[in-house]
Amino acid sequence: KILTYFGSVKERRAKRKGWTKTNAFHVCITSYRLAIQDSSAFKRKKWKYLILDEAQNIKNFKSQRWQTLLTFNSQRRLLLTGTPLQNSLMELWSLMHFLMPNIFQSHREFQEWFASPLTGMIEGNSEYNEHLVMRLHKVLRPFLLRRLKEDVERQMPKKYEHVILCRLSKRQRYLYDDFMSLSTTKDTLASGQFLSVMNILMQLRKVCNHPNLFEPRPITSPFHISDDD
């Protein structure tokens, strides 16, 4: 039995009638928005499994969404995401704490052990520490299961990549060459430190995607908004 939980307030209230009974349904599918809106009802029910798709939606532990879903009564939790890490390692802590709050309990300790040192390596402020990286892998390995599309979707056709070369604009070319000419950039590339070199590539990617990502410019508009009433 599958309960698709959606609709108006009245329709959702009707769907909740009798749902605390045993075997009223086996699977409930809903959205983040509705789960938060009707959180009081979801908290009262004991769930066997809480499965969150697109789990990067709870990467911010300060958000209402993360804090509300954390209070749901479930025996087990499973997160599905294609991007477990986007901006910082502390986003990873948010996901791990959500899964196992007793194991990944301390936000401060995770930051001291992993986030701050690894951020320093990425930014080139500290030397590459292979032991620290391996330690993080060892800590996370029991809890992460990676699956490639070709492993789980064998019926899908193969992906073909077509490379289209695009010329840089005048501003992009200037920013690109200027960044590559910096002594800090040259030193980082010469060091061969993986994380530091990856940060260089990320900066160059910003230039290529849009120069304002690398060097923001003030927004100009032909319209003038007066402060006068």
40 is written with which tokens? 């009081």
Look at residue 86 in the predicted model and tell me its pLDDT: 56
Return d(Cα 15, Cα 195) in angstroms, integer: 50
What would the two tokens of residue 36 be?
Answer: 């938060």
Query: 3-state secondary structure string, 164-188?
Result: CCCCCCHHHHHHHHHHHHCHHHHHH
pLDDT band at 51 (very low <50, low <70, confident <90, very high): very high
Distant-in-sequence, close-in-space partners of 84: CB < 8 Å, separation ≥ 6: 55, 56, 92, 95, 144
DSSP symbol at 83? -
Q: Which residues contact 139 (CB under 8 A, 6 or more apart)?
A: none
Q: What is the rounded average pLDDT for all residues in the chain?
A: 84
Judge if pTM exceeds 0.75: no
Cβ atoms 69, 58 nearer than 8 A: yes
Mind listing the pLDDT tens digit for each residue in 137-168? 787 788 888 877 777 777 777 778 899 999 99
Of 103, 54, 60, residue with least CA distance to 81: 54
| Better-predicted residue by pLDDT, 217 or 70 | 70
Run of H or E residues at 75: strand 74-79
